[in-house]
């Protein structure tokens, strides 16, 4: 399993994942020339692109990705919300498995202020990758995970301090709480899941103002005993 972060955060999200046989993109929320450059101009090797929801920081380059001949996979609600009709847009209903090359992929509902947001469980051979971002909660539990890509947007104490300092408004606070994963929620999620086979954890989509990358890495490694990479 190879995971490469091309971009992560509110300014844009894009990841390349491969099982050694089938390279995929997860999200395409940065400019197309930047995607091409960051995959070493080997975009023709990419077999598909998974899109979690319609917000621009997750699907900015979708039209160019489609023009490049790459199939895009998303929920019916996300596809409708993009307003794009194209023969390479594939709708994948939540909780119904589908295949892309050597991957078996299960979309599952996320909790975010979007039309029909999803996380993805990707399996290939003995390895299982969980991808979940832009969700304040996950109702599902997973067994046999080997790799985890999980949003860690903010810590409650940092957010509270920024509210007191006027850096974050009450309206912004309410949206954050209803649409993003906190450090505290991540710990609860990880405690509830089977981590015995996990090889590494990737923390994604950190807030510019309400996060602390070094602290998040330190706390999650101490909490799980697993190598943690902050993207």
Domains of the chain: 2-230 (3.60.15.10)
Q: Is the dihedral of CA 209, 211, 181, 24 positive or negative?
A: positive
- As a whole number of angstroms, the distance between CA 193 and CA 18 comes to 23
> What's the pTM value of the predicted model, to 2 decimals?
0.95
- As a whole number of angstroms, the distance between CA 230 and CA 86 comes to 35
Q: Which residues of 57-66 are buried (b: 16+ CB within 10 A; e: fewer)?
A: bbbbbbebbb
Flag whether pLDDT at 127 surpasses 90: yes
- As a whole number of angstroms, the distance between CA 100 and CA 74 comes to 13
* Percent of the chain clearing pLDDT 90 (strictly above): 92
**For residues 46 and 22, is the Cβ–Cβ distance under 8 A?**
no
1-40 pLDDT per residue, tens: 999 999 999 899 999 999 999 999 999 999 999 999 999 9
Flag whether pLDDT at 183 surpasses 90: yes
**Nearest one of 163, 122, 131, 129 to 147, comparing CA atoms:** 129
What pLDDT, on the 0 to 100 scale, is given for residue 91?
98
**Structure tokens of 7?**
């971009």
Which value, in Å, is the radius of gyration of the alpha carbons in the chain?
Answer: 17
Q: Please, which residues bridge with residue 147 across strands?
A: 129, 200
In sequence order, the 6+-apart residues with CB closer than 8 A to the CB of 11 are 30, 57
Q: Please, what is the average pLDDT of the chain?
A: 96
3-class DSSP state for residue 109?
strand
Q: Between β-strands 118-124 and 103-109, what pairing exists: parallel, antiparallel or unpaired? A: antiparallel
């Amino acid at each position: 399993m190879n995971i490469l972060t091309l971009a992560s955060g509110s300014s844009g999200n894009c990841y390349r994942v491969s099982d050694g046989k089938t390279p995929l993109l997860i999200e395409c929320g940065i400019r197309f020339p930047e995607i091409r450059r960051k995959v070493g101009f080997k975009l023709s090797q990419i077999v598909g692109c998974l899109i979690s929801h319609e917000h621009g920081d997750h699907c900015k380059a979708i039209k160019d990705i489609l023009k490049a001949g790459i199939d895009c996979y998303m929920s019916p609600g996300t596809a409708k919300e993009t307003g794009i009709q194209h023969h390479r847009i594939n709708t994948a209903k939540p909780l119904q498995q589908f295949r892309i090359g050597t991957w078996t992929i299960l979309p599952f509902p996320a909790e975010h202020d979007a039309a029909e947001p999803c996380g993805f469980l990707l399996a290939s051979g003995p390895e299982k990758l969980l991808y979940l971002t832009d969700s304040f909660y996950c109702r599902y539990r997973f067994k046999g995970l080997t790799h985890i890509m999980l949003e860690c947007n903010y810590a409650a104490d940092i957010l509270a301090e920024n509210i007191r300092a006027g850096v974050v408004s009450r309206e912004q606070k309410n949206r954050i709480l209803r649409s993003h994963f906190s450090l505290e929620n991540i710990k609860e999620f990880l405690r509830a899941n089977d981590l015995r086979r996990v090889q590494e954890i990737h923390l994604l989509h950190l807030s510019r103002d309400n996060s602390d990358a070094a602290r998040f890495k330190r706390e999650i490694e101490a909490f799980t005993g697993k190598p943690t990479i902050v993207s």
